[in-house]
Amino acid sequence: SQQGEEDPQALSIQEGENATMNCSYKTSINNLQWYRQNSGRGLVHLILIRSNEREKHSGRLRVTLDTSKKSSSLLITASRAADTASYFCATDWIGNNDMRFGAGTRLTVKP
């Protein structure tokens, strides 16, 4: 069963703009991971953030985690057409060691 819910379900922006996607979850987590999936392909791991961390960066990606609100956000800065993909958050929660995915956000970056 799904643990996380993401919003928006779909996001369309122009190249160069920033894209923000949010993930909310229901139970206290150990870790939260963000993945990208190009159409019909496998999932590419982007960032893992642990429950005791608040922010992580990787290149143009910034992930924040607010455990009090049970939510995380993924920010992609200076977006490119190649960033067009679906983005999923996945969590494992205390007492359950395996990752389950949210519904995902479909990002379209227009050239």
Partner 1 sequence: DTEVTQTPKHLVMGMTNKKSLKCEQHMGHRAMYWYKQKAKKPPELMFVYSYEKLSINESVPSRFSPECPNSSLLNLHLHALQPEDSALYLCASSQVRTGVAGNTIYFGEGSWLTVV
Binding residues for partner 1 (CB under 8 A): 2, 30-31, 33, 35, 40-45, 48, 50, 88, 90, 92, 97-104
Nearer to partner 1, 1 or 68 (CB): 1
CB of 87 to partner 1, least distance (A): 11
Nearer to partner 1, 50 or 54 (CB): 50
Give me the phi and psi of 50, to 5 degrees please.
Answer: -85, 165
Nearer to partner 1, 14 or 58 (CB): 58
Instruction: Give which of 18, 92, 8, 13 is closest to 61, Cα–Cα.
Output: 18
Q: What is the dihedral of CA 102, 2, 71, 11, to 10 degrees?
A: 30
CB of 101 to partner 1, least distance (A): 4
Q: Is 23 within 8 Å of 4 (Cβ atoms)?
A: yes
CB of 47 to partner 1, least distance (A): 9
- R_g of the chain computed on alpha carbons: 13
